[in-house]
Structure 1
Amino acid sequence: MNQNNVSEAAKAVVRRNTEEVQGGGNWALFDELWADDFVDHTPQPGRTPDKAGALELYRVLRAAFPDFRPEIHWQAADGNLVTTYKTYHGTHSGEFFGIAPTGRKVHFETVDAMRVVDGKITEHWGVANLFSLMEQLGAGTGAA
């Protein structure tokens, strides 16, 4: 398989994860797409940097935002490393980071990189604009 084929295959795995797992709550597919020895190099607060921690985060997001929907703006790949820029959308209908449901429609951007080996996500690095999300939920920083 040449470099372009590796990149396209890796992008397809990440896209399926984004659309079907994150966007659709397909937990069986999560198990199929994620390697058992997965490592998250930038886990969210309170989450473990492993496969179980990633699944827990996905479940928390879907519980807080049942209509959670990702919008992929672009993907780029260097071999098996895929970078994705996307916006998540949802309605705050469940508790999130201690904030009671507000009913507000929210959106926040993320950029992440995922390594895909043999059709499975093995590593993740990411940055999410959680400050914007928390502001939309009414959790001001109190900073002047």
Structure 2
Amino acid sequence: MTKISASEAAKAVVRRNTEEVQGGGNFKVFDELFADDFIDHTPQPGRTPDKAGALELYNVLRAAFPDFHADIHWQLADGDRVTTYKTYHGTHKGEFFGIAPTGRKIQFETVDVMSVRDGKITEHWGVANLFSLMQQLGAWPPTAATRS
């Protein structure tokens, strides 16, 4: 496989995860897309850095935001490593990190890097704007710009 086609194949795997698993709640596809030896280098608080921890996080997100989905703004790939910039959206209808449902619509940006080997996601590094999310849920005081 050439570097270009390997990169395109890796991007397709990551896109499927974003659209079908995270956005569609299809957890059968999760098992198909994630390697058993998956490692999350930036796990969320209280989550293990493995496949089980990632699945648990996805379940928590779907329970808190049943309409959880992402808009992928762009993806770049270098071989088997895919960087994705996206905005997540949802409606807060379930408990999230101890915050009771507010019914508020939320959105927050993330940048993820995922490695893909043999069609499976093997590693993840990510940065999410959770500060903005917590503000939208009323769990953190708004900034001066958002108070008016």
What TM-score, normalized to structure 1? 0.97
Question: What is the CA-CA distance between 1:69 and the residue it aligns to?
Answer: 1.0
Distance 1:68 1:142, change over 3 A: closer
Q: How does 1:20-99 map to 2 (within 5 A)?
A: 20-99=20-99
The percent of aligned pairs where both chains have the same amino acid is 80
CA distance, structure 2, for counterparts of residue 41 and residue 99 of structure 1: 26
Alignment TM-score, normalising by the size of structure 2: 0.95
Provide the C-alpha distance between the structure 2 equivalents of 1:53 and 1:89, rounded to a whole number of angstroms. Answer: 21
- Give the residue type in structure 2 aligned to 1:107: Q
Secondary structure at 2:20 match in 1: helix
Aligned amino acid, residue 92 of structure 1: H
One-letter identity of the residue aligned with 1:18: T
Deviation per CA, 1:27-80: give whole Å up to 9, x if none: 000000000000000000000000000000000000000000111000000000
SS of the residue aligned with 1:5?
Answer: helix
Q: Give the superposition deviation at 1:141.
A: 5.1
In the alignment, does 2:132 pair up with 1:132? yes
CA contact (8 A) 2:74 2:85 kept: yes
Using a 3 Å threshold, how does the CA distance of structure 1 residues 60 and 2 change in structure 2: closer, same or farther?
Answer: same
Deviations 1:2-28 (A, max 9, x none): 000000000000000000000000000
Q: Which amino acid aligns with 2:17?
A: N
Q: Distance in 2 between matches of 1:30 and 1:70?
A: 16
Runs of 4+ off more than 3 Å: none
Kindly tell me the number of residue pairs found equivalent between the two proteins: 144
Assess, with a 3 A threshold, how the Cα gap between structure 1 residues 64 and 4 changes in structure 2: closer, same or farther.
same
CA–CA distance in 1 between the matches of 2:3 and 2:69? 31
Equivalence for 1:3: 3
Equivalent residue letter for 1:32: E
Provide the aligned C-alpha RMSD in A: 1.4
